[in-house]
Structure 1
């Protein structure tokens, strides 16, 4: 469990501005569509979202989980720090015939009443909020007693966790107090964050199969061009061609190590932690 850790201070607002800009870079919705198109629906299924339930998707991105929940007939609010992602989500919802609300919101300071939702969820979203304690506090606060919380987060040991480890030497130093996103994929960390406030806590490691790339370099090139954190790492080294080339090689090598060797291209299993529980 955490305190407010300076949420709302000028320094925090500057940090959130950087996060907002980062997730507006490139084309994260294209990354979602390419590598994890069904992951949000997996979370909605695990939570058993039903018609008529009030659902909040925190750090919803372009609606990977929010839209499947709305298509089940739930009353859904999709919140995210990035207006660009919300705009992409609105377009995707219109295309799929889903009706839901889209609202700009900080996962560490949600603009919603206590106990306002039957289900609060996040699919590889809230893990990127820099201060984990306040984010966990907010997930619990806005969920009604007896309501369900559900999360999917990349694990530290899995592919995306290792991608962040690979990029770390090339990335700008994190601001004081910010925590690594893949920590949300650690069972002990999640238990510590929620404490005794969430009952029936289930933590299950699963993998999602990724077969979108013909070669390891194709993975690297998509993330280099479309994924905000990777774009930031490349930008930080833009004046040093040798470091750019080294990052190019290391990201391609990472995909090569995880490739199971399919007949028609790269086949990878990306590990995530599925968390579900009931608010006391």
Structure 2
């Protein structure tokens, strides 16, 4: 297990996010977006901003409730996918190519599902979210916790990837209630939740994780050339095996095969005004 001091890769830029198969990961994270929209109390006609929308999970979930939604993200490739999804469902979402620190406008609900946590400057991103939240509105975020499974995988990546820039901090800080209290006024209401990921084997899980991670894919040529590509897969597979919660033979309903891990995340509800 790791903590908030665990070194993590540098925040990814737009081209980096598009380098991996992030949409495959986003598909698995859709239930968290649905949960955040419910906790935010999104209703028809409400103005909603989804910060770091990616492929649009939370934006689309809010739009399905009849909200007036804007999805913001700095990655044009992911926004294009989000726009295609919205068009397929006939949902009138507005898409903006902008990072979390430069969002503008005024909204009843400002949401971020594993998005704002990747902003290079947490204070600037939080301040922008507060500015965009209308009086009486809410800011609701979901972020991976510092001691959870996602932090453990980041710890492995950090041993194979270039170091973060000076002063760089892990995005899992946003999953620490104490840190959030330094960013947002008042007392955020925080709950710890978990989402499960299931695969046929630790090796299969590691392969999926690496394919989805753009910041790993951009380093693939270097890792292959230095003979570290296979080692990365092996170390990550070990983490999946260590965190496996799949019941063994004769226990529960499991058949003793496959791997199932639970990733812990923090949902925070803030009333900034």
Give SS of 2:271's match: strand
- Which of 227, 238, 241 does residue 256 from structure 1 map onto? 241
Distance 1:57 1:273 in 2: 17
Match of 2:210 among 224, 247, 267: 224
2:225 is matched with 239
2-side partners of 1:168 and 1:268: how far apart? 20
Where does residue 5 of structure 1 map in the other structure? none
User: Could you tell me the TM-score, scaled by structure 2's length?
Assistant: 0.89
1:233 and 1:157 map into 2 onto residues whose CA distance is 26
Which 5+ residue runs of structure 1 have no aligned equivalent? Answer: 1-14
Distance 1:233 1:125 in 2: 22
Judge conservation of contact 1:172–1:236 (CA < 8 Å) in 2: no
Q: TM-score, normalising length from structure 1?
A: 0.86
Cα distance change, pair 76–170 in 1 and its aligned pair in 2 (3 A): same
Aligned match of 1:208 in 166, 182, 195? Answer: 195
The alignment status of 1:169 with 2:154, answered yes or no, reads no
Partner of 1:132: 122
After superposing the two structures, state which structure 1 stretch, 48-57 or 92-101, moved more: 92-101
Matched, 1:23 2:26: no
Kept in 2, the 8 Å contact 1:49–1:72? The answer is yes
After superposition, residues 51-66 of structure 1 pair within 5 angstroms as: 51-66=44-59
Q: How many residues align?
A: 256
C-alpha separation between the residues in 2 aligned to 1:179 and 1:235? 26
SS in structure 2 opposite 1:225?
Answer: helix
1:207-229: CA deviations, max 9, x gaps? 01222x11111121112222213
The residue aligned with 2:7 is none
The alignment status of 1:100 with 2:90, answered yes or no, reads: no
Cα distance in structure 1, aligned partners of 2:149 and 2:121: 22
Structure 1 residue 231 displacement after superposition: 2.0
